[in-house]
Structure 1
Amino acid sequence: MAHSAGDGEGPHAGPDEDLRRLKADYDNYRRRVHRDRLAVREIAVSNVLGRLLPVLDAIDRARVAGEVVDGFGAVADLLETELGSLGLQSFGEPGDAFDPVLHLAVGYTRSTVVTEPICIEVVRTGYRVGDQLLRPAEVVVAEPPPGPV
């Protein structure tokens, strides 16, 4: 079958087809660059936020000790708000179902009041950015006693 110059096949494709291919290549390039820039941004934000976790831990310890008051309290609140606006999310609360993907068990006990493994104490808060886990929450877990064998 003979190909005409404008059907987009063969070495003699018409100028319109060449322009369409060039535009498609450029559109693909733009999408790829945009996707790569977003990925680099996410990695950079995650790296910076990960480096700030010890600061948040120090603020948490100061809160427990009752030392986060007045101006320091305002600074701590503002820091947490700004980090949240960058996508930082804390997690790990007493009563959460234990999830080995999100929680690191640093203590363990058996309890007759639970029906599944539950976090009963949070030793260190966990953090994530979007779907990326920065640090698991360190927790003490309560599990029901073993059933009859």
Structure 2
Amino acid sequence: MNTRENGSEQEPVIRDNRKIDPETGQARAADGEQVKEQAEQPAPAADLASAELAIQLAERTADLQRLQAEYSNYRKRVDRDRTLIKEQAVAGVLTELLPVLDDIGRARDHGELTGGFAKVSESLEVATGKLGLSAFGTKGEPFDPTVHEALMHSYSPDVTEPTCVEILQPGYRIGDRVLRPARVSVAEPEEEPVASDS
């Protein structure tokens, strides 16, 4: 129905009172108000699910980080244990070879180390040196009870401190670890006579 007011034509007004928008499928606001029931229900459910997922993600991330730290510590411990076991095994074998090295040293001192036996002894000494074995204990060095074992004791005017005057059996070490202390004869400075009051 068309009516004329002041010479102009007015278009008819169409009002869509449907509660669901046919284009978007979403609930429409009625008379400028928002449809609270439908708009509020999905949002809290989505927020709750999102919060639960965030908590689960944080828990899984913490579990993963803890697991990685445990594995890293485990690897370090295993590597340290392997190194320690290897050092102990090498030290055990070399400790068993010390009497053989002592015999070779005595044979060398008496001039009996000749021919093929000399080559074998040199090879053995080179092999033990590659494994880290080193001899210590020389005549004239200060006596150190942590690396020397005193078998004999005397006094001498020639020394100013306790000194190794004779090496009876050399000591051996691997790195800082002493396998056997050097067995030595120790001389101390002569005691000065105490002046007596007469």
- The reply to whether TM is greater than 0.5 is yes
Shift of residue 123 of structure 1? Answer: 0.6
Q: For 2:144, what is the secondary structure of its paired residue?
A: coil
Letter in 2 for 1:103: H
Match of 1:91 in 2: 136
Aligned length: 144
Partner-residue secondary structure (3-state), 2:160: coil
2:157: which partner in 1?
A: 112
The question of 1:33 aligning with 2:78 is answered: yes
Higher Rg of the two aligned structures? 2
Write the distance in 2 (CA, Å) between the matches of 1:13 and 1:146: 77
Q: Specify which of 36, 39, 53 is matched with residue 98 of structure 2.
A: 53
> Structure 1: which 5+ residue stretches go unaligned?
none
Counterpart of 1:113 in 2: which secondary structure?
Answer: coil
Change (3 A) 1:5 1:117: farther
Instruction: Note if 1:71 corresponds to 2:116.
Output: yes
Task: After TM superposition, give the deviation of residue 148 of structure 1 in Å.
Answer: 4.9
Question: Structure 2: how far apart are the matches of 1:101 and 1:121?
Answer: 17
The answer for the alignment partner of 1:131 in structure 2 is 176
Q: CA deviation at 1:135?
A: 0.9
The one-character-per-residue Cα deviations of 1:96-133 (angstroms, maximum 9, x if unpaired) are 11011111111122111110011111010111112221
- Matched residue SS, 2:185: strand
How far 1:26 sits from its partner (Å)?
A: 0.5
TM-score by length of 1: 0.88
- 1:82 is matched with which residue? 127
Q: Report runs of 4+ in structure 1 exceeding 4 Å deviation.
A: 4-7
What is the aligned partner in structure 1 of residue 186 from structure 2? 141
- In structure 2, C-alpha distance between the alignment counterparts of 1:146 and 1:37, rounded to whole Å: 52
State the 1:11 CA deviation.
Answer: 8.9
What SS class does the counterpart of residue 14 from structure 1 fall into?
Answer: helix
Structure 2 gaps, min length 5: 1-50
Q: Secondary structure at the match of 2:173?
A: strand
Task: Report which structure shows greater RCO (CA 8 Å, sep ≥6).
Answer: 1
User: Identity percentage over the alignment?
Assistant: 50
CA distance in 2: counterparts of 1:119 and 1:6, whole angstroms: 76
RMSD: 2.2
State whether residues 128 and 135 of structure 1, in contact with CA within 8 Å, keep that contact through their aligned partners in structure 2.
yes
With normalisation by structure 2, the TM-score equals 0.67
In structure 2, give the amino acid aligned to 1:57.
D
